[in-house]
Chain A
Amino acid sequence: MVSFDNVTKRYGEVPILSSVTFTIEPSEFVFLTGKSGSGKTTVMRLLTHQVPFEEGEIRVEDMNLKKLSKKDVQRLRRMIGVIYQDYKLLTERNVAENIALGLEIMGKPKSEIDMRVRELLELIQLPDKAKLFPSQISGGEAQRVCIARALAIAPKMLFADEPTGNLDDPTAFSIVKLLAKINELGTTVVMATHNMSLVERMNKRVIDLSEGKITDRPKKVVHQHKKESAK
């Protein structure tokens, strides 16, 4: 479904990703791990066609990301739901309106939007907070709203970019469990994180980035973290 083939991305002269190659199969749950600055967010930006890349090939479904028209970019972005560390909720819209945004963009009828928003509010367990504004809810709740917004358009893939970065451990784990539940329903989930305890608890495939390159020992990374935690 998603393939990176020898992808290199530079900002000016600084290499961010160097010859990165990996594939993600449909309905897979994958952790993208690495320290800050290792290139996790750049992977998300490349996948959503926010930045160009210099070398290699990226494919998402039938699309080659080097050759996309404006229409194709819209199609790609409606195929990949993105969850952000800082939620990026619209402050002037309430929870329900934020969730409905993607559906409005797609031009869905109001009755369908209302129904889908209700379902998603149930899924994220916030049915009673539909009318609240982002400033009136907690960080964990805001992240769940962000997930619901990404899910609203029924994307084939969810890319969660450090979704637990601003949350305490129990809340972070509840978010990961929610993502796992979504994955069980058939959506491919890629979660970028540097929280190794979460990675360890979920027991999913790991793609580990270090200085813009994929390391070949993701299992070892988890194992090392286990040892450090035990100390």
Chain B
Amino acid sequence: MKTLRQALRNMRRSPYQALTATLMMTLTFFLIYGFSTVLYGAQLALQFLETRPQVTAFFKVDSTSDQLSQAASTMAQKPYVASIRTLTKEDALKVFQTQNQKDPLLLQLVTADILPASIEVRVKDISDMEKARDDLQANPGVDEVVFQQDVISNLRSWTRTIRIGGISLISLLLVTSMLFIFVIVSLRVAIKRNELSIMNLLGASFWYMRGPFLLEGTLYGFFGSLFGWIVSVTMLLYASPYLIKFFGPMSASMFSPIVLPIFLGVGTLLGVFVGLVASVVAVARVVRHS
């Protein structure tokens, strides 16, 4: 408690240095939380799309149920296929009815005869989608094959780019923040060098002398992470109506009451670690040169 009081006193006595370190850490963690949220959202979108049927073959209206079963069993034997779902004309009508419950007039007009049977295939690897398309098209009775390779591969590519760019930028900012804390704590220790040497001669322990400086660096990391989180969550909540509209059912996970505290927990651990490492190095360096 005494160590904490001393650390806070040190910060109060040089408020501009403390403010600079805290703002730098806040900016760093705001960007960390921002990138993490974007990456998390992209990952959710990717997962969502990957769990959808990736390749769908629609049969001609006059095709038979044998042709559908035959195509399903042929595709099931392919090693790249993860799962298969078949929809008969009747199944297609049920889906149509579910989707258009509010339009009874339309439901009366549409019968199973005019709806195509279909087969939905999910592949193990996205690069096999073209193969699946070709194999499906080779089956008798298949009218059209649709697949969403472009969407998924584009999203993957974007996610990868954001991840690489984000990690690079965040690493740079973390190193800069660490250097800021290092310089500020070094200054503090250098100013108190005389006081430390007297304490040392009076038999002060390692923690009594160095504790306040180590704690000060840790506090910069802690507060930087906390403030960065508050700012990023505030912005996320502000943008939530647009995000919900854009991401639809995926957005529920983004605002989950578990995910955001997990971000804060992991970020705070990172902040505390960065602050502690910077101050440990600073104190050790100044004491060694004293």
The answer on a CB contact under 8 Å between B198 and A153 is: no
The answer on a CB contact under 8 Å between A77 and B208 is: no
Interface stretch (choices B117-125, B181-189, B199-207, B266-274) = B199-207
The answer on a CB contact under 8 Å between A77 and B206 is: no
> Is A74 located at the chain interface by the 8 A CB criterion?
yes
> Is A185 located at the chain interface by the 8 A CB criterion?
no
Q: How far is the CA of A75 from the CA of B208 in the complex (A)?
A: 15
**Which residues of the other chain, A, contact B128 by a CB distance below 8 angstroms?**
none
The answer on a CB contact under 8 Å between B206 and A70 is: yes
**Which residues of the other chain, B, contact A153 by a CB distance below 8 angstroms?**
202-203
The answer on a CB contact under 8 Å between A82 and B201 is: yes
The answer on a CB contact under 8 Å between A74 and B198 is: no
B202 CB contact (under 8 Å) in A75, A92, A101: A101
> Shortest Cβ distance from B288 into chain A, in angstroms?
16
> Number of A interface residues, CB 8 Å?
20
The answer on a CB contact under 8 Å between B201 and A77 is: yes
Q: How far is the CA of A5 from the CA of B7 in the complex (A)?
A: 44
The answer on a CB contact under 8 Å between A105 and B203 is: yes
Interface residues of A in 67-90 (CB under 8 A from B): 70, 73-78, 82, 88, 90
Q: How far is the CA of A104 from the CA of B2 in the complex (A)?
A: 10
> Is A48 located at the chain interface by the 8 A CB criterion?
yes
Interface residues of A in 90-109 (CB under 8 A from B): 90, 92, 101-102, 104-106
**Which residues of the other chain, B, contact A82 by a CB distance below 8 angstroms?**
201
The answer on a CB contact under 8 Å between A105 and B204 is: yes
A88 CB contact (under 8 Å) in B2, B198, B208: B198
> Is B195 located at the chain interface by the 8 A CB criterion?
yes
Interface residues of B in 194-232 (CB under 8 A from A): 194-195, 198-206, 208
> Shortest Cβ distance from B58 into chain A, in angstroms?
79
**Which residues of the other chain, B, contact A90 by a CB distance below 8 angstroms?**
194-195, 198
> Is A224 located at the chain interface by the 8 A CB criterion?
no
**Which residues of the other chain, B, contact A50 by a CB distance below 8 angstroms?**
201
The answer on a CB contact under 8 Å between A105 and B202 is: yes
**Which residues of the other chain, B, contact A106 by a CB distance below 8 angstroms?**
203
**Which residues of the other chain, B, contact A76 by a CB distance below 8 angstroms?**
203
Interface centre among B2, B195, B203, B206 (most CB of A within 10 A): B203
**Which residues of the other chain, A, contact B208 by a CB distance below 8 angstroms?**
105
Q: How far is the CA of A199 from the CA of B222 in the complex (A)?
A: 58
The answer on a CB contact under 8 Å between B206 and A48 is: no
Q: Mark A30-65, 1 if CB is under 8 A from B, else 0.
A: 000000000000000000101000000000000000
Chain A interfacial positions (CB closer than 8 Å to B):
48, 50, 70, 73-78, 82, 88, 90, 92, 101-102, 104-106, 149, 153
Can you name 17 extra interface pairs (CB under 8 A) apart from A76-B203, A77-B203, A90-B198? A73-B203, A74-B204, A74-B205, A77-B201, A77-B202, A78-B202, A88-B194, A88-B198, A90-B194, A101-B198, A101-B199, A101-B202, A102-B202, A104-B2, A105-B199, A106-B203, A153-B202
Q: Which 6 interchain pairs have the tightest Cβ spacing?
A: A77-B203, A78-B203, A74-B203, A105-B204, A102-B202, A90-B195
